[in-house]
Amino acid sequence: MDFVRKAGNIYADDLNLWMSLASYKLPSPKVKSEAFLPGGGIMELDVPLGSIEPLTLQFNLKGMPPQVQGRFGMSLSDRRLWTIYELLQDELTGVRRERIITMRGVFAEADPDEMKGRGMQGYAYHIKSITDYEDVVEGHGVIARFNFATNSWQGYGQTVGSAVDNRILRIAG
């Protein structure tokens, strides 16, 4: 069992959220596709379009930290840096590695927990409009990198939006 995710922490710009962090869900790249059923065909096919769905970071905090609530954004110019630090461990050898995921996105939604008498309630936060994303694992380098402005995605064994593609499409970034 190599690279087991053992623990994690989130920073909002330079604000360390570890004291109130309950959970988080990393953005998950999903290929954009279009269903196609040829005339007279009996089987529909999802055809990959060579692009990905928008990325979203979700996390839950206990309490209502004003320093986080005040980072709400309504345009791309309100993007902020969100950094996740994870501890990865090889269970057989005990080797520990650092994983750092950075992204720039807009704090677009805060969904409060239902209040149920006394208890530790908080908020679910959603970071959307992610324009920059990088996932780095110590000893392995960049696992994935996405940049909206340069029209490029690399990682998971793929390079999309290469210099050749951008040249043909006259995309400068």
Instruction: Answer yes or no: is 144 within a domain.
Output: yes
pTM attached to this predicted model: 0.86
Of 3 and 50, the structure prediction assigns the larger pLDDT to 3
Find out whether 87 and 98 touch, Cβ atoms under 8 Å: yes
Q: Is the pLDDT of residue 156 over 70?
A: no
Average pLDDT over residues 38-51: 90
Helix (H) or strand (E) run with residue 142 in it = strand 141-147
- The total of structural domains in the chain comes to 1
Structure tokens at 68: 């986080």
Average pLDDT over residues 122-130: 96
Task: Say what percent of the chain tops pLDDT 70.
Answer: 95
For residue 102, pLDDT beyond 70? yes
Nearest to 21 by CA among 55, 56, 72, 57: 57
| Beta strand 45-52 pairing with 31-36 | antiparallel
Query: CB–CB of 161/150 below 8 Å?
Result: yes
CB 110 within 8 A of CB 102: no
Report yes or no: 7 and 18 within 8 Å, Cβ to Cβ.
no
Report if residue 157 sits inside a domain: yes
Tell me, yes or no, whether 42 lies in a domain. Answer: no
Question: Does residue 42 register a pLDDT over 90?
Answer: yes
- Predicted confidence at residue 31, as pLDDT, reads 87
Report the percentage of the chain scoring pLDDT > 90: 64
Residue 160 lies in a domain: yes
59: in domain:
yes
56 has a pLDDT exceeding 70: yes
How confident is the model at residue 101, as a pLDDT? 98
Say if 77 falls within a structural domain: yes
Residue 18 has pLDDT above 90, yes or no: yes
pLDDT of residue 167: 79
**For 132-142, what is the mean pLDDT?**
93
C-alpha–C-alpha distance, residues 101 and 96, integer Å: 16
CATH code where residue 125 lies? 2.30.110
Q: Establish if 35 belongs to a structural domain.
A: no
Q: Inform me whether the pLDDT recorded for 80 exceeds 70.
A: yes
pLDDT of residue 10: 98
Looking at the DSSP assignment, which residues form a beta bridge with residue 155? 144, 158
**Average model confidence (pLDDT) across the chain:** 91
- 131: tokens are 């324009």
What domain range is 151 assigned to? 4-30+48-168
In a domain, 67, yes or no: yes
